[in-house]
Amino acid sequence: MGVIKQIFEISLIGGLINLDDVPLTQTMISQPIVAAPLIGWMFGDLQAGLVIGAFFELMMVYLLPIGCSVPLDGSLAAIIATGIYLLVGSSPGGQPEALISLAILSALPSSAIAQKLSVLVREVNNRISDRAQAVVLDKTPGKIDLLHFSGIGLFFLRSFSLCLISLLIAVPLIRSVIPFLSPGLVRGLKLLYFAYLMIGIALLFDAFRSRDTYWLFALSFLLATLFSTVWPLPAWMAFGMPCVLAGAGYGIRERLRGKYGCR
Amino acid sequence: MAVDSGKSMRQNAPCLSKLDLLRVIIRSFIFQGSWNFKKMQNVGFAFSAAPALRRLYPDQKEQEAALGRHLEFYNSHPYMASFVLGAIIKMEERHSKGEDIKIEDILTFKKAMMGPMGALGDSFFWASWRPFLGALAAALALIGWKLTPIAFLLVYNIPHFYVKFFGFWQGYILERGIVEQIRKYDLFRCSAHLKSFMLIILGAMIPVVIKLECKPPSLCLNLIEKLGIVLGILIISEFFRRKITLTRLLVITSSICILLGILNILK
């Protein structure tokens, strides 16, 4: 009963957070890097939320909602994955990475379903648009506000119900499967953990690479390798120093280019 | 005579207070509430402009006409639309006062601005600013900095709120002059710089956040492993270049990893 209550709570909060994705404010509370840690923090494991959020952020941040396109819903998937991780509780073989992979894997289909449901919501919203024009002609323009809010309500219903159904199916299923996972399969899931990370980085690398800036990638990689292996620094410094140094190098080059007009 | 009385009545038309403008700005945060395929953000535009239009046109018929004309097709970037919204409100205010501005001028300006604003917003906010901060935040989260989500929200929303509030105000003050003002921001150049910084972050992220268990932990093995990871990333990015979708790649990768696990190949 306690788990059902928690599933309901996560779905309710997840549905509200997900409103920020399109219809409400768009302050990016719905981004996986915020939404997943928020759920994690509320239900007792911020660290897991941070990791799951980071994975989804890398994989989904460059799926752009441009024009009519409706991308995969990484936000809702991150919320569901965090919910699964938190509610399943025990990791297979005592490996939290394996459970994170399993949670992400289980939540990925819901990002595609959420995408389809978004399309459906927008098609229903076509009627809201027609109705808005009708209420103006009917001399009751005040109803436009109500119609607009009904679009928000519809979007919430989509997020909440998908979250609820996904968690109701996935949590008991994974709980029952975990004791039967072989050590080999746990290792496979651990490998998947790194594979997700690499796919996320590769996706962004592909989106942002250009011949002109390969050197920046190489320079920061070499510096970070240097600071994490030859002169081991704390992780935040091993990451921050190369960013600052390569950023300074880029700044100097840009200034020289501006000054001498050279390419 | 009738025209004169009409004009003098219009000159006494109500002005918009700062509170009215603030209500429009606050409503613009729900700009995409009923986003639809048919006319996209039309209801959102009318909903946002409604408090100002109701104030400007106390006459029921004029109010209905004003709301009706803003229910036409509209699609732009939800943040950058604030510039246009500000300018349109000002133009409506001038029109309601009987100044020499036609409804066609208002609608033409709205239509002309929606495309460029959409392109600019999509290119800067969606395709540069958000991915850049997203990648940075992901790296910091994986390093273990617990305040990452708060920092992400605070930094991301600086230009967002700037555009929402100040952009709207600039649109209201400058009207058509807003085009020149936006050009000064040079958002395309900012996007190009952000994309370069993005590569820096990705490069620095790999050796720090991807930690495979190496036995024994020697420098040579670590370096080879890390170069191997870079090679793996380059290969995966080649898949994306060849138009393999993320969904398909995730399915393939997951299947391979699980299959390797089931076959007990991984040691």
- Which tens digit of pLDDT belongs to each residue from B166-180? 999 999 999 888 888
Q: Rounded mean pLDDT of chain A?
A: 90
Residue B162's nearest CA partner among B82, B76, B84, B88 is: B82
Mean pLDDT, rounded, for A26-45: 95
Whether residues A241 and A172 share a domain: the answer is no
For A139, which of B43, B60, B260 is closest by C-beta distance? B60
- Which band of pLDDT confidence, cut at 50, 70 and 90, is reported for residue B215? very low
Look at A141 and B21; give whichever has higher pLDDT: B21
B1 CA to chain A: closest CA distance, Å?
A: 30
**Averaged pLDDT of chain B:** 86
When divided into structural domains, chain A yields a total of: 2
DSSP state of B163: I
Same domain? For A75 and A115 the reply is yes
Model confidence pLDDT, tens digit, residues A209-249? 888 888 899 999 899 988 887 788 888 899 999 999 999 99
Which residue(s) pair with B40 in the sheet?
B36, B74
Give the nearest chain B residue to A19 (CA atoms).
Answer: B33
Give the Cα separation of A147 and A124 in Å (integer).
12
Contact check, Cβ <8 Å, B134/A58: yes
Which B-chain residues 138-197 have CB contacts (< 8 A) with chain A?
Answer: 138-146, 148-149, 152-153, 156-157, 160, 193, 195-197
Task: Write the ipTM.
Answer: 0.93
Burial class (CB in 10 A: 0-12, 13-18, 19+), B5: exposed
Task: Report CB contact under 8 Å: B196, A216.
Answer: yes
Report helix, strand or coil for B40: strand
- pLDDT of residue B213 exceeding 60: no
Asked if A106 and A35 sit in the same domain, the reply is yes
| A194/B212 CB distance under 8 A | yes
pLDDT tens for B1-25 read: 333 444 445 556 678 899 999 999 9
Residues in CB range of B252: below 8 A, 6 or more apart: none
Q: How far apart are CA A200 and CA A31, in angstroms?
A: 15
Residues A9 and A139 both lie in one domain: yes
The domain limits of chain B are: 2-116+162-183, 216-267
- Report which of B92, B70, B105, B83 is spatially closest to residue B25, judged by C-alpha positions: B83
B141 to B31, B207, B224: CA distances (angstroms): 31, 15, 25
Test the B interface: residue of A59, A72, A138, A239 with most B CBs within 10 Å: A239
What's the confidence (pLDDT) of residue B37? 92
Nearest to B202 among A128, A195, A205 (CB): A205
Residue-range definition of the domain harbouring residue A58: 2-208
Contacts of B122 in chain A (CB under 8 A): 64, 66
Shared-domain flag, residues A165 and A244:
no
Q: Are residues A34 and A111 in the same domain?
A: yes
The mean pLDDT value for A124-137 works out to 90
Residue A84 has pLDDT above 80, yes or no: yes
Tell me if A20 sits within 8 A of A29, measured CB to CB.
yes
Q: Are the C-beta atoms of residues B58 and B12 closer than 8 Å to each other?
A: no
Clarify whether residues A123 and A38 are in a common domain: yes
Hey, how many other C-beta atoms are within 10 angstroms of the C-beta on B18? Answer: 8
Whole-number CA gyration radius for chain B: 26
Residues of A within 8 A of B134 (CB-CB) are 31, 33, 57-58, 61
Residue A253 pLDDT greater than 60, yes or no: yes
Question: How far apart are the two ends of chain A, measured CA to CA in Å?
Answer: 66
Per DSSP, the three-state class of B36 is strand
Note the Cα A176 to chain centre separation in Å: 26
CA atoms within 13 A on the CB side of B30: 22
Residue B23: phi and psi, rounded to 5, are -65, -40
Q: What is the pLDDT of residues B52-83, one digit of tens each?
A: 999 999 888 888 899 999 999 999 999 999 99
Q: Are residues A228 and A135 in the same domain?
A: no
Q: Are residues A234 and A184 part of one domain?
A: no
- For A150-165, write each residue's pLDDT tens digit: 999 999 999 999 999 9
Neighbours of A4 (CB within 10 A): 12
Q: Find the closest chain A residue to B233 by CA distance.
A: A202
User: Position of tokens 């009207």?
Assistant: B175
By CB neighbour count within 10 A (0-12 exposed, 13-18 middle, 19+ buried), where does B213 fall? exposed
Q: Using 50, 70 and 90 to split pLDDT, how confident is the model at B214?
A: very low
Please name the member of B43, B79, B134 whose beta carbon is closest to the beta carbon of A132: B43
- Note whether B204 contacts A59, CB cutoff 8 Å: no
Q: Is B220 on the interface with A (CB under 8 A)?
A: no
User: Between residues 36 and 65 of chain B, which touch chain A (CB distance below 8 Å)?
Assistant: 36-39, 42-44, 46-47, 50, 60, 63-64
Cα separation values, A250 from A253, B72, B137, B187, Å: 5, 46, 21, 19
State whether B247 and A72 contact (CB < 8 Å).
yes
Other CB atoms within 10 Å distance of the CB of residue A180 = 8
* Whether pLDDT at A124 is above 70: yes
Please tell me whether residues A132 and A146 are part of one structural domain. Answer: yes
Q: Is A217 on the interface with B (CB under 8 A)?
A: yes
Rounded Cα–Cα distance for residues A221 and B199 (Å): 10
Examine the domain organization and report whether A186 and A217 are in the same domain: no
Give A202's contacts (C-beta < 8 A, 6+ positions apart).
B232, B233, B234, B235, B236, B237, B239, B240
